[in-house]
Amino acid sequence: MRAIVLNGVNLDQLGKRDPEHYAGVTLSELEKRIYEWANELECSVRCRQTNSEGEFVEWIHDAAEWADGVIVNPGAWTHYSWAIHDALELVSGPIVEVHLSDVEKREEWRKLSVLSDLVAAKIVGKGPDGYREALEFLCKQ
């Protein structure tokens, strides 16, 4: 299993953002855990983060060519980026949407995901462990 983890806008600010919602982990710490989990699960993973929506879309286009599965946390783009939605339509393998916080119990606007019709699974509110659950899900496919 070859997977890519795509983290979007503002996720480079983990560790500075509200630890109640974002688990107090930095992006670097999160990625280290993801690589360790992938090693334990005997799958290959690549992690990327950007604050540029266009770059995020380009990475999805690239992943559509080689990745067996995609884990995506677009951040706020989740709620309105039809460009990301359309790019993810090109992915043939399973897509897992992950959010560190429980977006279902936060502001009303966070409950909307324009990706919901494309994802095989959605994991929310489990902090960094949500990424492990997403990797486990992909490895079982």
pLDDT recorded at residue 103: 75
pLDDT recorded at residue 102: 83
Q: What is the pTM of this model?
A: 0.93
**Segments of the chain scoring below 50 in pLDDT:** none
Residues with a catalytic annotation lie at 22, 99
Closest CA relative to residue 66, chosen from 93, 27, 31: 93
pLDDT recorded at residue 96: 98
pLDDT recorded at residue 104: 80
